[in-house]
């Protein structure tokens, strides 16, 4: 399919503004390698009274922290190039990951219950030419992302948060007492703490992996028990229908939602600086290859897409300042294996809000660094994501990555539902992770060649050191 036809279909389903966002993200990605003009700002000096305690750039998922900060007595402003509180992806999580929405005071239990549009009996991971491996309590709740953000936006407004729709933060300059900010409307302001929640479009999103993802809410897919049909009570977490093509291992996922609707995504892993990544061209593949994945005369009801930055943990992560906080995709703190940012955000947003509050209350000139926590298992799974991003290029080896994934997930299934689910929820212990690696290597000795060839000695050493350190901490 031609790219212009893919754009037409996205525009037809999502409207002109959403299609413009798609093209905008591709343009940002293409311009990463070019030197961008900078805006010089006068940095706040000690004794300067900031306009706000906290300014948040980006009004998506991490809008969650805004009403919490306001409830703690901080003055808060949120800026976004689109309307604040719009969802650009559908979200799934496990049941216990929804609990912080209630414990934080954002929503009542009955309000959270109304956000859940589907529950699954289990989820599956399936590899072409291999097996199907079910797992429970992983991404088994489909959440209405739009309703959640609308509720959080209303609460933020009620608590006095200043919302600046269609006005982006375009530059910042950090000083000892705060951060100077410039907006796309030509305004300048300052804050004690600047929270960057701009996702992949953030100039600070410098992680070493990226996951281009396209898809959306579909209707018209056939329901049934076959692999190429949809079961309303089963979520498909990861699935492949082919080997490596165009130098990439493409992966599907499908999560049933409201009756007759399914959220389907197509994505692949790539190195952060890899050329040629385009959401529009990936959409062309999505429309072309859908029939190989699921049956049915489908209709795209609502497009959802994005470049999801990832961090392998094999090198330095995205940088931030003393008074600059990276969250969400800008920080790449989510799982480097599943890229599930929603569950990660739900597990951590209360702690991040508390850290931001403490930093904002620091006396002027005193260090106030805030760094969102990182799940220990990420030090191990990051290297696996790097392997996914660097599949073999030789046509004769096009099926090797599928075979390795099949071996890995067969091993997880044999370890039992608790360990299998723990890996996908970022909760697996270092001891279980090492047991998993040793079992996979025993079943597939060539994995040593693959790991050494693609991670090289430095990366392999850093990975081994990180896993060993987590083992010592757990012992």
Contact 98, 350 (CB under 8 A): no
Name the average pLDDT for the chain: 88
**What pLDDT is recorded for position 183?**
96
**What pLDDT is recorded for position 462?**
60
**What pLDDT is recorded for position 35?**
45
What are the C-alpha distances in Å from 68 to residues 54, 56, 93, 100, 444? 12, 13, 21, 12, 49
Alpha carbons 267 and 270: distance in angstroms, whole number = 10
User: For the chain, which residues score pLDDT lower than 70?
Assistant: 32-40, 336-340, 363-373, 448-475
Domain with CATH 3.30.9 in the chain: 3-21+118-142+207-310
| Nearest Cα residue to 77 out of 191, 204, 176 | 191
Alpha carbons 119 and 388: distance in angstroms, whole number = 29
| Nearest Cα residue to 90 out of 217, 201, 213 | 217
Which one-letter DSSP state was computed for residue 167?
B
- In DSSP notation, 341-404 reads HHHHHHHHHHHHHHHHHHHHTSPTTS---------TTHHHHHHHHHHHHS---SGGGTTHHHHH
Each residue's pLDDT tens digit, 25-62: 898 887 764 545 556 687 777 777 899 999 999 999 99
| Nearest Cα residue to 239 out of 220, 254, 261 | 254
**What pLDDT is recorded for position 336?**
66
Does the reported pTM lie above 0.85? yes
Which class in CATH covers the domain with range 3-21+118-142+207-310?
alpha beta
Contact 123, 425 (CB under 8 A): no
Q: What is the dihedral of CA 236, 241, 243, 246, to 10 degrees?
A: -100
**What pLDDT is recorded for position 365?**
47
What are the C-alpha distances in Å from 473 to residues 75, 113, 244, 281? 39, 38, 38, 45
| Nearest Cα residue to 198 out of 80, 336, 346 | 80
Residues in the chain, how many?
Answer: 475
| Nearest Cα residue to 117 out of 87, 158, 72, 77 | 87
């Amino acid at each position: 399919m031609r790219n212009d036809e893919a754009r037409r279909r996205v525009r037809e389903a999502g409207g002109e503004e959403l299609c413009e966002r798609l093209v905008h993200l591709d343009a940002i990605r293409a311009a990463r390698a070019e030197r961008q003009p900078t805006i010089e700002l006068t940095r706040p000096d000690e004794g300067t009274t900031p306009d706000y305690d906290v300014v948040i750039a980006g009004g998506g998922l991490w809008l969650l922290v805004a009403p919490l900060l306001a409830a703690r007595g901080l003055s808060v402003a949120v800026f976004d190039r689109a309307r604040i509180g719009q969802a650009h992806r559908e979200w799934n999580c496990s049941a216990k990951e929804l609990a912080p929405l209630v414990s934080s005071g954002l929503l009542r239990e009955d309000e959270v219950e109304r956000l859940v549009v589907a529950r699954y009996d289990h989820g599956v991971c399936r590899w072409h030419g291999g097996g199907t491996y079910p797992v429970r309590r992983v991404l088994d709740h489909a959440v209405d992302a739009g309703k959640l953000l609308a509720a959080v936006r209303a609460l933020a407004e009620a608590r006095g948060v200043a919302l600046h729709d269609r006005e982006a933060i375009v530059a910042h300059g950090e000083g000892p007492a705060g951060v100077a900010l410039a907006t796309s409307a030509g305004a300048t302001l300052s804050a004690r703490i600047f929270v960057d929640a701009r996702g992949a479009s953030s100039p600070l999103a410098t992680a070493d992996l990226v996951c281009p993802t396209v898809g959306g809410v579909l209707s018209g897919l056939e329901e049934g028990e076959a692999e190429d049909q949809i079961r309303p009570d089963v979520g498909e977490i990861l699935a492949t229908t082919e080997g490596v093509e165009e130098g990439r291992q493409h992966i599907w996922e499908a999560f049933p939602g409201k009756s007759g609707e399914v959220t389907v995504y197509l994505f692949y892993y790539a190195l952060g600086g890899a050329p040629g990544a385009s959401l529009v061209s990936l959409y062309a593949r999505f429309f072309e290859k859908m029939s190989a994945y699921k049956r049915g005369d489908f209709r795209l009801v609502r497009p959802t897409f994005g470049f999801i930055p990832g961090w392998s943990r094999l090198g330095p992560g995205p940088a931030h300042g003393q008074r600059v906080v990276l969250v969400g995709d800008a920080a790449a703190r989510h799982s480097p294996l599943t890229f599930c940012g929603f569950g990660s955000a739900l597990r951590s947003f209360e702690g991040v809000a508390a850290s931001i509050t403490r930093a904002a209350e620091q006396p002027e000139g005193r260090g106030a660094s805030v760094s969102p926590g990182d799940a220990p298992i990420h030090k191990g799974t990051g290297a696996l994501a790097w392997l996914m991003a660097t599949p073999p290029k030789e046509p004769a080896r096009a099926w090797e990555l599928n075979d390795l994934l099949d071996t890995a997930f067969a091993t997880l299934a044999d370890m039992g539902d608790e360990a299998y689910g723990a890996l996908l929820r970022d909760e697996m212990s270092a001891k279980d992770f090492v047991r998993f690696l040793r079992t996979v290597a025993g079943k597939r000795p060539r994995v040593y060649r693959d790991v050494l060839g693609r991670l090289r000695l430095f990366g392999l050493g850093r990975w081994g050191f990180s896993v060993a350190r987590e083992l010592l901490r757990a012992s």
